[in-house]
Structure formats: C-alpha cells, structure tokens
Structure 1
Amino acid sequence: MSLPTFPDDWARATVIVAHPDDPEYGVAAAICRWTDRGKAVTYVMASSGEAGIEGMPPEQAGPLREQEQIRSAAVVGVNDVQFLGFPDSALRNTGELRAAIAQVIASTNPDVVITNFRGAEWAPGMSNQSDHIELGEAVVQTIREMPSTHHIRLFENGAEPTHIEQLSEHEVAKAIESLAQHAEYLRVLDPETSVREQATAQIHSVCYRDGEDTAAVHFSEIDVRA
C-alpha cells in the first residue's frame, strides 16, 4: 500500500535533533525540497557533537562540528541553526532539556517538528544511539505537555513510516553535498573512503530505501495528543 505524501499545508518547521549531522543522515533532501518551495526551516542541535571525532579533544571538536553543521545547513537552504549546549553522548530526557526544547518551540512557532527516531533498533542488529532515543522522547514529552501546541504535527525519521516525501535528483544531489560538509567528521569516521563516497552511499541508502527506483524520504507521524 502506498504511503500518503508528507503534508504541504504548513509554513514553518523546526528540526530538533541530538547532534550535528543528524539532519543530513536522514532528512536533508526533504529539507532542500521544502526550502526551495519557500518554507522556513530551523535546525536545533541539543549537543555540539563534541564527543564525535575520535582523537580530537571535545573543546576542539565541538566548535569544528558546529561550523560543519552551519555550512551543511546552508547547502539545503537553512540559515537558522541553533545549539543548546547539552553534553554529547550523555543526553537524558530531563526537565532541563525539556525546558530548553519548550523555549525553542515557543520562539520558532513551528507548524511541523521533526526529531530523531526513538526506537531501540533501526533494524534487527542495528541499534539506535541512546542520545537519539533520549532526545526524541524529550521532544515528544515536551510537545504533549506544552499548552497551545495542538496545531503542531510531529514526525520522526522512523523505521515504520506513515508518510513519504518524493524527491528529485537535484534534491538528492544537494543532500549529498550537505552531508559532505561534515568533512572532518567523515574523514575520521572512515579514513579509507572519500568524504564524497561516504556521503553518496549514506544519502542513497536513505533516499532509495529497500531498492526503490524513485527517491524519497520516509517519516513516521507521532500523535501529540496521546
């Protein structure tokens, strides 16, 4: 059965995720499509990803990864990028984190919120990161507890999709370029494979899911009234 198309009747989206590069690994091609159509998108990272580059001190890695994220976002038309300063690899669904998320939602006033997949596994044997789970749960809880958020539609880039956003080759290419801006991170992650090759492989795995011929990004809608 074909999935319904991602809704188009909105003007502002806020993407709230755990780390720099999280939007690029999942939804950058869809973001490019939306900004090209005049929609406003804000990126919010709970951490600066300072623990994410092996062999690099956090005080060096954090600012570097922030700059990579800002460049990456610009490629797909996002110029509002915020970092909340919570510790990388130690995110917890706390009152402090939820308060920061609530402030972001109040200030950006989104119609749509996108967050990390909260499931324990992407697929059998493919574990999700604790930071993703904790941040995603914090976003869901925050929106459910905030007053006047009944209009918000909340989605995660999940393993069991409810909606699909079809993509053009241009949007896929821009997503590859966007992920490739995380150059230092990718070089350390896999020194044997070029940054461009890594970015291309990742974006194709997301956009051509299950061997599909047509590119798309898949989303799972979360009931904010539950």
Structure 2
Amino acid sequence: MTDQLKPMPENWQRALAVVAHPDDLEYGCAAAIAHWTDGGRDVTYVLATRGEAGIDTCPPTECAPLREREQRASAAVVGVSEVEFLNHRDGVIEYGIDLRRDIAAAVRRHRPELVITLNHRETWAGGAYWNTPDHVAVGRATLDAVGDAGNRWIFSELIEQGLEPWNGVRWVAVAGSDTPTHAQDAGPGYERGVRSLLEHRAYIEALTDEDPEAYARSILDMGTSQVADRFGGRPAVGFEVFSR
C-alpha cells in the first residue's frame, strides 16, 4: 500500500519561496501559496533571474521587464506583495558561492520559518524528463544557503551589511519532487492558481498554441492529481520536506 502524504506544517508565519524563473512557482505551487496567504501567513518570492532568455521571439532586453511585470502581477493574485530578483543570468545560473551568498542574504533579510524551492535533482517524473541547469543550481543552492544563513562565520560580510544570522528556518519544502513527503490541499487555492499562471500570458502564448486558460487548467489538473491518491483523494500540491 502506498504511504500517505503528511499535511504540510501549519505552525509557521513567514515563508520565503526561492526559484530560478518567473512562472516556476505558478506550475502548481501557487495554489498552495494562495491558501496560506488566505490564512494570514506572509510569503515572499525571490527569483534568481528575470527570465530574460525564456521567449525565443523576444530579445532579453525586452523580455526581462515584461516577465518581471508578469511575475509581480502573478504573485499579487495569490496574495504575495513582495517579489525580489537577484539578477543572475537566465539559462546560465551557476551553482557556487555567489548564488549561495545571495540566497543566504535573502533568508537573513526575510527571516522565514519555511523556505520553498523547486526540484533540485537532475530529472523530473521519475527520470522521464531532464531538469534544467537553472532549476538544479537554484534548488541545491537554496538547500545549502539555509544553513549558510544561520552561520555567522559563513558570508560574514553580510553582517557588515546589517544582515544578522538567521537560524529560524524549520523546514525546506521542495516542490516538484519525485519523492514527496507532504502535501497541501490545492482545492481552496485552485482558481487563483489558474489565474496566477495566466498572468504569464506572453510566456504561455510563446510556448503553446493552446488556449491559455485551457493550458493553465490542464497543467494544474495534471500536477495536483499526481499525489491525490496519497492524500485522501484530494487534488494537492506535493512537497518533499526537509526538517531542520
């Protein structure tokens, strides 16, 4: 018998979501975020890039501000008002000290109890699809930067910038993992999850000829149904949760 997924932890107030690109959080995770913000929790988005290399027909100098606007509008749909961009280059993010430092700084700045990121492993869907280097780098760096944020002797220059160590992260939740341990009911936030993805209209229209709303609903339906049989039959967003 397949093990049932645990409900996501509820005893937290602040979350920080760290991903590589605009739209990364909207492919399912935003439905969970909508539910959390409805409950009075604070969620902040940090994106490593502005997604400037994401639309083939749009030069990066035009694409970056366009995708930034779409991301801010998308976040607002699910109750997120603070969106930061770290200005790493889309498509060529490098895992390393600079990325870890930037994410550790964000953790110290926002002092979350829950950190959310995206699949950091090389493949998706049990090995059927290769992951992108950007997702791998940012996901792995986020897991590492949470520890860096709590150690005053790592990136001590951040203290000089007024960013004191923060060791209050209790969980890191990885969305899109093939080995989820927890889930959040997607029902209450489903419609806003769809609308949140639809705010990335320029990206979606460049990606597919399908009607944007039909595309958004099919994406969320597929994602939230994958773990339903392990969560009481309810559509849900799955997370692999690492406790700290």
TM-score w.r.t. structure 1 length? 0.94
Q: Does 1:152 align with 2:163?
A: no
Q: Is residue 2:47 matched to residue 1:28?
A: no
Shift of 1:7: 0.3
Q: Aligned residue for 1:219?
A: 239
2:157 counterpart of 1:138: no
1:1-226 aligned within 5 A: 1-123=3-125, 124-147=127-150, 148-149=166-167, 151-157=169-175, 158-168=177-187, 170-190=188-208, 192-209=209-226, 212=229, 213-224=233-244
Q: How far apart, CA to CA, are the structure 2 residues paired with 1:12 and 1:210?
A: 25
Name the amino acid aligned to 1:138: A
Distance 1:187 1:222 in 2: 36
1:150, CA displacement in angstroms?
Answer: 5.3
Does the 8 Å CA contact 2:52/2:90 hold for their aligned counterparts? yes
Q: Percent identity of the aligned residues?
A: 35
Q: Which residues of structure 1 form unaligned runs of 5+?
A: none
Task: Determine helix, strand or coil for the equivalent of 2:6.
Answer: coil
Stretches of 4+ aligned residues off by more than 4 angstroms: 210-213
Q: What is the aligned length? A: 222
Match of 2:43, SS state, is strand
Q: Is the 8 A contact 1:172 1:215 kept in 2?
A: no
- Cα deviation, residue 221, structure 1: 1.3
* Alignment-derived partner of residue 154 in structure 2: none
CA distance in 1, matches of 2:199, 2:120: 26
Q: What is the Cα-based RMSD across aligned positions, in Å?
A: 1.4
Alpha-carbon contact 1:49-1:61 (below 8 Å) kept: yes
SS of 1:199's partner is helix
Q: Distance in 1 between matches of 2:228 and 2:81?
A: 33
Unaligned runs of 5+ in 2: 151-165
Residue 98 of structure 1, CA deviation: 1.1
Query: 2:60 and 2:192 mapped to 1: Cα distance?
Result: 29
- What is the TM-score of this pair, normalised by structure 2? 0.87
Moved more, 203-212 or 57-66: 203-212
